[in-house]
Amino acid sequence: MNNPFIYLRALKHAEQTVFCVQDGQKTYYDPQFNKAMAFSSGQQVKRSILQTLCDELNVPMAPITFNFNVTKKKELENKEPWSPCDPTYIDQLLGGWMRAGDGPTKKRRSPLSISAMRPIHPLLGGISKENITFDRSDRPNQHPVNVRMADSDKLMTEEEIEQFLQDNDRTLSRRTWIPDQARTTGLFVYDVAIDLRTLFCVTTQQFEPEVSTEMIEKLKNAGWTLSKNVFGECLVMPKEQREKIIPALAEALIEWRVTSNQARTFSLMETLAIAISDNANTLAGAIRAKLIDDGDKPKAKPIVDENAGADTFITLACANYIVTESESASAINNAKKKLIDVMMAFDYENQCE
């Protein structure tokens, strides 16, 4: 690869799951096919990747400071959280940061650009709805019931409850109905662009600083070396640290699953195919769908194309959904090795020579 960027597209299968809770499931509208489509936001995908990376390295995520103001009405007002702006935390180095309201604003653009995970085609991802219950009616004696009259904090006694039910010909159930719960199933893709120029480098210029002068000295003392990239003078993470992080990053980019506390209903979210290239356009051809005119009801056929210009890796699970001939049990490991080899080969210390 001659390009300082790595582009990755992966195809996953999701089964009867929820990516993010918002009216049951986040959706967006596709105007061409007149459909609501489920998606996992780029921010959620990024958070899941960074969490997987930290878990793989067995290191903590950076501590975030949550700020509040007390208003004149004695109410708590949320203010902007603060990142430590410390690249020795791997989720900060790769995830980026912005911190304002505490001296000069510090900003670092993440070297990972990550898309939303969305259906590979509007006709290949669906949403279903169901009514669910929170039900404890099978053992009513084990589960108490509280009843309050409107605009009152006082609990009614059991005798008062019984009298109320008798007078009003009512019953109390230990069952709560939760209607219209959305689930999604289908074939989903996400894209990642990795900027190798900034992956392990932090700029030292102070006109629009990434880090403070104190942090620059801390990094120098920790073995980060002074160098230059196309953005100017920078500090580069020591090679021995990079060599520990790169395999874990390759693992996280492919093996992540939705893990935020907004997700529920477990799905394997198995990876079906991976395409890697230094040319973003080849990814769109390597993993794609083809619209088929079938009278009044068009169909879409998923395609994994090994001759589209990208390095393509097809897993055994892919054969469940796409006709393939070269699926392999080692596909995921081979894709990780490709990512590792490219990231290891880049000359981070001598970018401008």
95 sits in which H/E element:
helix 90-95
Contacts of 80 (CB under 8 A, 6+ apart): 67, 100, 101
- Please count the CA atoms within 13 angstroms of the CA of 175 that sit on its side-chain side: 11
pLDDT of residue 66: 85
d(CA 268, CA 256): 10
pLDDT of residue 272: 97
Strands (E), 33-141: 35-38, 68-70, 76-78, 97-99, 106-108, 112-114, 118-119, 125-135
Give the tokens for residue 109: 């653009």
- Sheet strand arrangement including 232-236: 201-203, 232-236, 225-229
pLDDT of residue 285: 96
Q: Which among 256, 322, 338, 344 has a CA at the least distance from the CA of 121?
A: 322
Q: What is the mean pLDDT of each run of 10 residues along the chain (353 residues)?
A: 87 87 74 90 93 96 88 79 93 94 88 96 85 73 81 85 87 74 88 98 92 95 96 96 98 86 71 97 96 85 96 96 93 98 96 82
Output Rg (C-alpha) for the chain, integer angstroms: 26
Residue identified by tokens 């020579």 is 353
pLDDT of residue 339: 98
Q: Are 61 and 54 in contact (CB under 8 A)?
A: yes
pLDDT of residue 137: 77
pLDDT of residue 260: 54
Encode pLDDT of 292-301 as tens digits. 987 778 899 9
Give the tokens for residue 291: 């619209």
Residue identified by tokens 């996992």 is 40
Q: Exposed, middle or buried, 186 (CB in 10 Å: 0-12/13-18/19+)? A: buried
pLDDT of residue 3: 84
Give the tokens for residue 59: 């290191």
Q: Which among 260, 252, 268 has a CA at the least distance from the CA of 20?
A: 260
pLDDT of residue 23: 58
Q: Are 299 and 279 in contact (CB under 8 A)?
A: no
pLDDT of residue 259: 64
pLDDT of residue 1: 42
Encode pLDDT of 101-153 as tens digits. 778 899 999 999 999 999 999 999 988 777 667 777 777 777 788 888 887 88
